[in-house]
Amino acid sequence: MARVCEICGKKPVAGKTIIRHGIPKKKGGIGLHTTGITPRRFSPNLQRVKVRTEKGGTAHVRICARCLRAGKVVKA
């Protein structure tokens, strides 16, 4: 099962964690130096919610917290 919101299609995006050492030049140092870059993922805040369908039944869907707060679905 993919980590994708079934309403808006929000999905994980890639990013990096950058580690810097040193004292900034502003504070009297020789500047910050990058000593490590690690890839990471930013995952959406998905919730598994029981919602009403258009046919009158219920179903479990994975939707992001933003769609849930915005009222884009009706909880069963």
Extract the tokens encoding 50.
Answer: 């029981």
- The per-residue pLDDT for range 39-56, each reduced to its tens digit, is 999 999 999 999 999 898
Give 61's pLDDT tier (boundaries 50, 70, 90).
Answer: very high
| Whole-Å CA distances, 29 to 4, 19, 36, 57 | 45, 17, 20, 65
Class of domain 13-70: mainly beta
pLDDT at 60: 96
- The per-residue pLDDT for range 2-47, each reduced to its tens digit, is 899 999 999 999 999 999 999 999 999 999 999 999 999 999 999 9
* pLDDT at 1 exceeding the cut of 70: no
Task: State pTM to two decimals.
Answer: 0.74
